[in-house]
């Protein structure tokens, strides 16, 4: 795996993980009646985006290490997966 492919895979994994982590612990102010005039009632009270970015970085790094290990060492070959198409044959 080249470093550009590794970086591209990591960025895709990071954003997928970030969007999965983003709703954790979100509280809307509309439940408390603390909605300030001019704000969206669905906006989170304390989004904690930096904390969620840190969690995302940790989780996506672990997932990327696993994916990189699968790509580099190939413990499961592409041909051994039964539902994958055969690209090696003649057309």
pLDDT of residue 56: 97
Residue 19, both tokens: 């969007």
Classified as helix, coil or strand, 88 is coil
| pLDDT < 70 regions, the chain | 30-34, 88-91
Residue 48, both tokens: 């904690």
Using alpha carbons, list the distances in angstroms from residue 89 to 17, 36, 74, 77, 85.
36, 65, 21, 17, 10
Q: Do residues 6 and 67 touch, judged by C-beta distance below 8 A?
A: no
pLDDT of residue 46: 83
Q: Give dist(CA 57, CA 49) in Å, integer.
A: 12
Q: Give dist(CA 6, CA 65) in Å, integer.
A: 10
In the chain, which ranges are E strands? Answer: none
pLDDT of residue 30: 64
């Amino acid at each position: 795996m080249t470093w550009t492919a590794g970086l591209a895979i990591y960025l895709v994994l990071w954003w997928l993980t970030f969007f999965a982590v983003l709703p954790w612990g979100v509280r809307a102010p509309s439940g408390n009646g603390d909605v300030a005039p001019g704000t969206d009632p669905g906006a989170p009270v304390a989004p904690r985006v930096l904390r969620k970015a840190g969690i995302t970085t940790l989780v996506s790094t672990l997932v990327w290490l696993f994916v990189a290990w699968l790509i580099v060492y190939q413990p499961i070959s592409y041909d051994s997966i039964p539902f994958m198409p055969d690209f090696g044959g003649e057309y």
